[in-house]
Amino acid sequence: MKLLVAGLAWCLACCTGWSQVWAQTSDLPASASPERGRALLMQRQDTGCILCHQIPGLPVGGALGPSLHGLAQRSTPAQARERIADARRLNPQTIMPAYLSTEGLHNVAQRYRGQTVLTPLALDDIVSYLFQPDTTIP
């Protein structure tokens, strides 16, 4: 009986472990590219991420937002994606721009009206960079 319980517990631990790994990696399409993501994160003009965040493997960043070191320990790719897409959904008072939304924006320059800052693919690229195993990030 004891053995059966231990076996069951092991199996459960093992299965949840695996499903977590699976959930993490299956969040992103295979086409997502961490190299493109890195390039996007570096752009001060287009994304501006490093104006507010310190990001692993990138030159010094700003401190208006939290450091993104260790992000994988406190968030899943899907959660990070949701925040970058429209941080207002998680924090209506946020200062972080909404990168995949055109809702409720004011004073948008004529040529950018109706456009999102990032495309869905670019957003996946960024998330794939942020969730690379830390060992591959210098």
Footprint of ligand HEC on this chain (CB under 6 A)?
47-49, 51-53, 64-66, 68, 71, 74-75, 80, 83-84, 87, 91, 94-97, 99, 126
Nearer to ligand HEC, 73 or 136 (CB): 73
| Shortest reach from residue 106's CB to ligand HEC, in Å | 16
Residue 125 · residue 40 · CB < 8 Å: yes
**Number of residues that make up the chain:** 138
Burial of 68 (0-12, 13-18, 19+ CB in 10 A): buried
Nearer to ligand HEC, 12 or 115 (CB): 115
DSSP annotation of 5 reads: H
| Shortest reach from residue 95's CB to ligand HEC, in Å | 5
